[in-house]
């Protein structure tokens, strides 16, 4: 049985992938910005590699989203609300 930490990690890496796809960014693009290989970045999104707080903050900056949003369990709702706000501008 997984721990709460395992669940939270899976949520975070899943949210990173969803936000990256929402922004139409490739893994190659983010990997280059993070100065790591695409393979290393892929391992982050798959949850195979640990992610440091510094790297998580950098990913949030690159994805143009608050760190709190990345660790949220309801990222689809956050993306939907951000789309509505953008369309209202």
What average pLDDT does the segment 47-76 reach?
A: 88
Q: Give percent of the chain above pLDDT 90.
A: 52
Cβ neighbours for 41, distance < 8 A, ≥ 6 positions apart = 27, 30, 31, 34
Other C-beta atoms within 10 Å of 30: how many? Answer: 21
For 32-44, the pLDDT digits (tens) are 999 999 999 999 9
Burial of 58 (0-12, 13-18, 19+ CB in 10 A): middle
Model pLDDT, residue 5: 62
Domains and CATH numbers, the chain: 4-88 (1.10.260.40)
């Amino acid at each position: 049985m997984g721990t709460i930490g395992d669940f939270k990690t899976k949520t975070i890496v899943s949210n990173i992938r969803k936000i990256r796809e929402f922004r139409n960014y490739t893994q190659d693009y983010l990997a280059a910005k993070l100065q790591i290989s695409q393979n290393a970045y892929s391992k982050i999104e798959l949850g195979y590699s640990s992610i440091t707080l510094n790297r998580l903050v950098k990913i949030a900056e690159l994805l143009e989203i608050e760190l709190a949003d990345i660790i949220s369990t309801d990222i689809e709702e956050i993306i939907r609300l951000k789309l509505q706000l953008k369309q209202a501008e």
